[in-house]
Amino acid sequence: MKKAVCIISGGMDSALAAFRAKKDGNEIIALHFNYGQRTQKKELECFEKIADVLGAKKVVLDTSFIKNTSSSSLTDRTLHVRTSGLEEGVPNTYVPYRNGIFISIAASLAEKEGAQSLYLGVMEEDSSGYPDCTEDFIKKIEDAVNEGTKKETNIKIHTPLVHLTKSDIVKEALLLDVPLELTWSCYVNEDEACGVCDSCRLRLRGFKNANAVDKIPYVKN
Amino acid sequence: MKKAVCIISGGMDSALAAFRAKKDGNEIIALHFNYGQRTQKKELECFEKIADVLGAKKVVLDTSFIKNTSSSSLTDRTLHVRTSGLEEGVPNTYVPYRNGIFISIAASLAEKEGAQSLYLGVMEEDSSGYPDCTEDFIKKIEDAVNEGTKKETNIKIHTPLVHLTKSDIVKEALLLDVPLELTWSCYVNEDEACGVCDSCRLRLRGFKNANAVDKIPYVKN
């Protein structure tokens, strides 16, 4: 059976990408990163549940060195996570080259495990404007990965969501029975989602535009 | 003053690359990785001394997750490090896509620090046959790094040793007053170099062909 390494953050996008990998006939190696992000505990819990539903082999890696290479509000609690609304430009939740780091580690794991594919939940449009979430970037890092691994290693990076909107994602996740109630998007809270950080706003807008109901708990305002 | 992130392992090659970065007029950010390699303690000690000579800012990151993504004899003590001599092909000291991971992390640090350059000690010829040490690979990962970081970030990856032999490296290091006696290459031992692992053999051959004397201690046979 062919194998795919799926980076699963605990959010909706990577969960859907992993379900697509499963639907494509892959045995799933589910990879999660702990890097001292504010909602690390909740994200790990969601990862575990999603990976269990997928019947995946689980790999959890500590990449907390990221705190030292970034000045992101996701890992630095002295900074404020924006809750005032979505804007143009790269927000302070940006962790420099995070996907480059995560994809490189995933490629290393894929080579070790003999997996032919990586699946990622990156989306270019309707996202937070991070430069390491674009199709152009993925193409270039795929080239680098295949140049920098053994000759017999050939890894295809799948980004099935890259041109979807959040509402497309909600609709397709519902079609594929992805347990969205087990996913978490909030950048700030672990018990009740704040509803106002960029990630909550994108998620809520996605459900609204898909005419669907989000079953996770939100702070009552 | 322009800044360069220099990955410094504690070996000769990366030390020379960092001295070249300094000669090129850069303020040095010295980056070292601990990843559970057999000679981690010795390599860190060498890194510290080399960085001090360079007057560098030091960043030491724990990337011990690498143990989980590789089956390399450098990190897995149940495997044997080859001591029988250099051969064609990728040896079991290979850590899958290690330079891809290290360069990605260094790029993230460079973006955070506003550095314009990375300097690496990779060499394509006269090396151990690792696929992530070639000029083709470096070109492709440089493209990926610049695509996946902010628009205003532009990082040049310098590999001044890529087409040198080990004896070229010894000769140039002596010319530039690189303290080779503070560097360490042995894959196996931390007190006296074994003299017979691939890395010791390459180092010794380099000194011999450069008609120079290696001042580090070796096991007496």
- Distance from first CA to last CA of chain A, Å, rounded? 49
Give residue B81's identity as a one-letter amino acid code.
V
pLDDT in tens, B32-69: 999 988 899 999 999 999 999 999 999 999 999 998 88
Residue A137 near chain B (CB below 8 Å): yes
Phi then psi dihedrals of residue A118, to 5 deg: -115, 140
pLDDT score for A216: 97
* pLDDT, mean of residues B184-193: 96
pLDDT score for B126: 63
Asked if residue A73 belongs to a domain, the reply is: yes
Q: How far apart are CA A208 and CA A186, in angstroms?
A: 17
Confidence of residue A80 (pLDDT cuts 50, 70, 90): confident
Chain A nearest-CA residue for B64: A62
Confidence of residue B191 (pLDDT cuts 50, 70, 90): very high
- Residues of chain B positioned with their CB less than 8 A from the CB of A112: 69-71, 96
Q: What is the mean pLDDT of chain A?
A: 93
Which secondary structure element, helix H or strand E, spans residue A112, and what is its range? Answer: helix A98-113
pLDDT score for A128: 67
Q: What is the mean pLDDT of chain B?
A: 93
Helical axes B12-23 vs B166-175, angle rounded to 10°: 50
Q: Are A108 and B98 in contact (CB under 8 A)?
A: yes
Which secondary structure element, helix H or strand E, spans residue A45, and what is its range? Answer: helix A40-54
Nearest to B140 among A64, A98, A144 (CB): A144
Find, among B108, B179, B119, the residue nearest to A105 by Cα: B108
Answer with the residue of higher pLDDT: A70 or B114. Answer: B114
Asked if residue A215 belongs to a domain, the reply is: no
Is the per-residue pLDDT at A156 higher than 90?
A: yes
Domain count, chain B: 1
Q: How far apart are CA B221 and CA A184, in angstroms?
A: 60
Q: Are A194 and A78 in contact (CB under 8 A)?
A: no
- A211: Cα separation from own chain's centroid: 23
Q: Which of the residue ranges A22-31, A49-58, B84-93, B167-176 would you say has the lowest mean pLDDT? A: B84-93
pTM of the complete model beyond 0.80: yes
Is the per-residue pLDDT at A193 higher than 90?
A: yes
Residue B135 near chain A (CB below 8 Å): no
Q: What residues contact residue A45 under an 8 Å CB cut-off, 6+ apart? A: A10
Nearest to B97 among A95, A143, A145 (CB): A145
ipTM confidence: 0.92
Residue B68 near chain A (CB below 8 Å): yes
Asked if residue A101 belongs to a domain, the reply is: yes
Asked if residue A216 belongs to a domain, the reply is: no
Asked if residue B61 belongs to a domain, the reply is: yes
Give residue B139's identity as a one-letter amino acid code.
K
Phi then psi dihedrals of residue A61, to 5 deg: -120, 145
Chain B nearest-CA residue for A151: B131
pLDDT score for A82: 83
Sign of CA dihedral A87, A91, A93, A97: positive
pLDDT score for A126: 63
Asked if residue B220 belongs to a domain, the reply is: no
Task: Calculate what percentage of chain B has a pLDDT beyond 90.
Answer: 80
pLDDT score for B77: 79
Answer with the residue of higher pLDDT: B50 or A126. Answer: B50
Instruction: Quote the domain boundaries for residue B122.
Output: 3-209
Asked if residue B221 belongs to a domain, the reply is: no
Residue B116 near chain A (CB below 8 Å): no
Find, among B15, B17, B184, B105, the residue nearest to A100 by Cα: B105
A107–B96 CB contact, under 8 Å: yes
- Residues of chain B positioned with their CB less than 8 A from the CB of A104: 97, 100-101, 103-104
Q: How far apart are CA B126 and CA B108, in angstroms?
A: 30
Residue B143 near chain A (CB below 8 Å): yes
Phi then psi dihedrals of residue A103, to 5 deg: -65, -40
Q: How far apart are CA A43 and CA B150, in angstroms?
A: 26
Q: What residues contact residue A125 under an 8 Å CB cut-off, 6+ apart? A: A163, A164, A165
Confidence of residue A220 (pLDDT cuts 50, 70, 90): confident
B101–A101 CB contact, under 8 Å: yes
How many beta-carbon contacts under 8 Å exist across A and B? 144
What six digits make up the tokens of A187?
Answer: 């950048």
Tell the residue number behind the tokens 């109630």, with chain if given: A181
Tell the residue number behind the tokens 């992390």, with chain if given: B105
- Residues of chain B positioned with their CB less than 8 A from the CB of A98: 108
Residue A36 near chain B (CB below 8 Å): no
Q: What part of B 146-185 touches A (C-beta under 8 Å)?
A: 147-151
CA A215 to chain B, closest CA, distance in angstroms equals 34
CATH code for position A39: 3.40.50.620
Scanning chain B, the segments in alpha helix (DSSP H) are: 12-23, 40-54, 66-69, 98-113, 135-148, 166-175, 198-209
- Residues of chain A positioned with their CB less than 8 A from the CB of B96: 107-109, 111-112, 149-150
Asked if residue B19 belongs to a domain, the reply is: yes
Answer with the residue of higher pLDDT: B83 or A103. Answer: A103
